[in-house]
Amino acid sequence: MGGLLRRAWLRLSARPPVWLATVLAVNAIIAITGSIIGAGFNLTALLSVGPVLACARCNGRITALVSAYSLVLSFAVGAATHSWGTLLQRERTAVVIMACVLAIVVAEIRGRRETRLIRIADLVQRAILRPLPAELGGVAFASHYQSATPGTLVGGDLYDLTMTQFGPRFIIGDVRGKGLDAVGRCAAVIAAFRALAFAEPDLIRLAEQMDDTLCGELEMEDFVTAILAEFGPDEVRIVNCGHHPPLKSGPRAGRDAAPGTFEVLMPEPSAPPLGLHPSPTRQDIVLKHGDRLLFYTDGLVEARDRAGRFLGLDERVIAALDEPGLDMCVQRLGGILVEHSGHTLDDDVLLVVCEPVA
């Protein structure tokens, strides 16, 4: 029961319009009840609940509007109960006024602090998740990232791309946990990749060295699902450590033709995540002009609709991979995800689409 109430509270507080309507409705009920009870025992002082609740989720301007609404209701209750001229009613109204002023001040202070935190989070995201270049080493890239934590720009998903003497090397991963708690683990994984990707020629050995490094930094129950990819002429070499396999799509025959071929690149055999001592194998995948690869985290395929159904790699995803440009492709994939989940994500989502350039 407690879990249901907590989920209901989180869903309510994550939607400002619903939250605000609830606050206004609570104040209206209090005002109506106070008018019915009468001057001897009315509930005018409880109209301070509205501004106090509003300042917990709304900015100063919205809190000021709720405060004005509460004051109008307090005057209306006094007029309806014919108690406005009494000292007691004036004291009740004074309580509402003080609560309104305090709520507006708190909302303004909280808003400024949240703005500073968002700026800090944005800097952290830019330091950890550097924007992917549009093209590197003959391969074009586009990405889409969305955190499941409201107001948070970073989470448990990670990626990085760098040019080495072995060709472009790419990592995508998902650490255990989400939100700000996972930021430190993301930073550790990316730091290990950047430190080792330039020196180790073998992709399997690179994964093993990263595992050795991370085992000394992660806690006992922490792990990281990850894919390491190395791009070469007309091919990509992949090492999968417990991550969702990428999706490869081929070109369609023409603009009006059905979507082209697609393939889920399942590793054989599968390997455990980094941090759990994997012994991965390498897959050599043909990747020619017109082919595309979709790398993603579990926030895509584990997104549920209101009926509890998962978003599968169905014809909608395949059709999105056929969009003319990579940016349009990831935007459409993000739109499919939001539409399926009803604008509420339960996990962080990272999408990266790449293709060889002519």
What pLDDT score does 180 carry? Answer: 61
Contacts of residue 158, Cβ cutoff 8 Å, sequence gap at least 6? 128, 129, 171, 172, 173, 174, 175, 186, 189, 190, 350
Domain-by-domain residue ranges, the chain? Answer: 2-124, 130-356
Beta sheet of 235-241, edge-to-edge order: 157-164, 167-175, 224-232, 235-241, 282-286
CATH topology of domain 130-356: Phosphatase 2c; domain 1 (3.60.40)
Whether 230 contacts 203, CB under 8 Å: yes
pTM for the structure as a whole:
0.69
Helix/strand/coil for 162: strand
The pLDDT profile of the chain, 358 residues, written as one tens digit per residue, is 445 444 444 444 444 455 455 555 655 666 666 566 554 555 667 778 778 888 887 888 888 888 888 888 778 777 776 666 677 777 878 888 898 899 999 999 988 888 887 777 677 767 777 888 999 999 999 998 877 665 555 667 899 999 999 999 999 999 876 656 677 788 889 999 999 999 999 999 999 999 999 988 877 778 999 999 999 999 999 999 999 999 998 875 444 445 556 788 888 888 999 999 999 999 999 999 889 999 999 888 888 777 778 877 777 888 888 888 899 999 999 888 888 877 667 677 889 999 999 7
